[in-house]
Amino acid sequence: MGTLLHIQASPMKERSFSLHTATAFIGSYLQSHPSDTVRTVDVFDGTLAEFGVLQAAAKYKILHGKPASEEERTAWAAVEKTVAEFRAADKYVFSSAMWNFGPPYMLKKYIDIIVQPTLTFAYSPAEGYKGLVTGKPALLILARGGAYGPGSGAEGYDFQKPYLEMILRFIGFTRIDTILVEPTLMGGPPAAAEKLAAAIAVAREKARTF
Ligand SMILES: Cc1cc2nc3c(=O)[nH]c(=O)nc-3n(C[C@H](O)[C@H](O)[C@H](O)COP(=O)(O)O)c2cc1C
C-alpha cells in the first residue's frame, strides 16, 4: 500500500490540459494499483502555508540554533508540516500549466516551502549538496500554450520543464518522467484536442508501471 501525491498547479480546472491528463493517469494508476491511496495538493486552493518575513526569520534562527519567537516557531511549524506531508508520499505527480515560460507562481511558492536545508536537502563542505528525497519516482505533466520541443526554435524559452526537473533532482529525485501537452493554444482547438488525446494515452500507459 503506497501513497501517490498529486500536486496540481493549474486554476483552469475542467479546462486544464495538465489536470485532464493527470486525472487520466490517476484513473489508470488506481486500476493497476488498487490498494494505493492518492492525495492531492492543489496549490491554488488557498490553503498553502505562507513563506514570508516570519518564515524567513525563523528559518535562519532555527538553522543557526538561535532562539525564535513563538510567532516565528508557529510560522515555521506550518512549513515543516507541508514538508512532512510532501515527504510522506511514495510517488509524485506534478501537473502544471506554463505561465510566462515557467511554472505558475503558486507552484513556485510550494517549491519555496518544501525545498529546505535539513528537511529536503543537506549541505556539507565535504559532500556539497545532497538531496534527501530519494528512491521515489516523479512524473511531470506539463501543459503549454506554445511548443518548445526540439526543432521548435523556442527551446530556449522553456523555463518550466528544465526548472522543475532540476529542482526535483536537487532534492534527490533520480527517476523523473515528463509528459508534455503542447501546444494547447498556438495550433488552435483541433490540434490541442489531438495533443491532449496523445498525452492521455501516454499517461494511461505509464500509470500501469509507475
Ligand atoms: C497567466 C498565463 C500565462 C501564460 N504564459 C504562457 C507562456 O509563457 N507560454 C505559453 O506557451 N503559454 C502560456 N500560457 C498558456 C498556458 O500555458 C496554456 O493555456 C496551458 O494549457 C496551461 O495549462 P493548463 O491547461 O493545465 O491550465 C499562459 C497562460 C496564462 C493563464
Segment 61-77 shows an average pLDDT of 95
Q: What length does the chain have?
A: 210
- Residue 178 has a pLDDT of 98
HSE-CB for 101 with a 13 A CA cutoff: 7
Q: Does position 121 have pLDDT exceeding 90, yes or no?
A: yes
Best of 99, 141, 158, 159 for a ligand 1 pocket test (most atoms within 8 Å of beta carbon): 99
- Residue 100 has a pLDDT of 98
Q: Does position 80 have pLDDT exceeding 90, yes or no?
A: yes
Distance, CA of 15 to chain centre: 19
Q: Does position 84 have pLDDT exceeding 90, yes or no?
A: yes
Between the CA of 99 and the centroid of ligand 1 the distance, in Å, is: 5
DSSP collapsed to 3 states, 57-88: HHHHHHHCCCCCCHHHHHHHHHHHHHHHHHHC
CATH architecture of 3-42+85-209: 3-Layer(aba) Sandwich (3.40)
* Atom from ligand 1 closest to the CA of residue 100: 8
Segment 94-106 shows an average pLDDT of 98
Segment 141-163 shows an average pLDDT of 96
Segment 146-158 shows an average pLDDT of 95
Q: What does the radius of gyration of the chain's CA atoms come to, in whole angstroms?
A: 18
Segment 88-98 shows an average pLDDT of 98
Averaged pLDDT of the chain: 97
Between the CA of 105 and the centroid of ligand 1 the distance, in Å, is: 12
Segment 94-115 shows an average pLDDT of 98
Q: Does position 103 have pLDDT exceeding 90, yes or no?
A: yes
- Residue 108 has a pLDDT of 98
Enumerate the domain spans of the chain.
3-42+85-209
Closest CA to 198 of 17, 38, 28: 17
Q: Does position 109 have pLDDT exceeding 90, yes or no?
A: yes
Query: 39 to each of 47, 105, 162, 191, 197, how far by Cα in Å?
Result: 15, 21, 25, 32, 25
User: Which protein residue's CA is at the shortest distance from atom 24 of ligand 1?
Assistant: 16
Q: Does position 92 have pLDDT exceeding 90, yes or no?
A: yes
Q: In the structure, which protein residues have their CB atom closer than 6 angstroms to any atom of ligand 1?
A: 10, 12, 16-19, 97-101, 143-146, 184-185
- Residue 136 has a pLDDT of 98
- Residue 32 has a pLDDT of 97
Task: Name the DSSP class of 98.
Answer: -
Segment 170-192 shows an average pLDDT of 97
- Residue 1 has a pLDDT of 85
